[in-house]
Amino acid sequence: MSKEHFWPEWISSHIPKHPTDNHISEIQVSEGRDNILLNNKDKRPGNVITKKLRVVCKKCNNGWMSQLEETAKPIIKAMLENKKFTIQQDDLAILVKWITMKVLIAE
């Protein structure tokens, strides 16, 4: 397994960071809605933008996942930089795939 940046490093220039930043990691395991088996919250130093997760193999992280992120990068950068552009159907499909990948990694 490799460490995957949840947020890509190139996005960090668009998100402010401060030396006193903290983030909270939470793990919750349950059976059904009411039977919580584990609820663990952990406050850690550092901005959430630097968070790495060890949830994907190196082959996927450096292969199709990297390719998808590079394809999505110009679209996301244009949105973050408030550039005026028209999103095309193909761009929307790329964004949906990238967002789905990020949700699955986080889950």
Give tens-digit pLDDT for 46-66. 777 777 888 899 999 999 999
Name the residue with higher pLDDT: 90 or 28.
90
Going from N- to C-terminal start, the domains of the chain cover: 2-20+48-106
Q: What is the pLDDT of residue 71?
A: 97
Nearest C-alpha neighbor of 66 from the set 105, 8, 107, 12: 8
Q: What is the pLDDT of residue 10?
A: 87
Q: What is the pLDDT of residue 58?
A: 92
Q: Which residues contact 20 (CB under 8 A, 6 or more apart)?
A: none
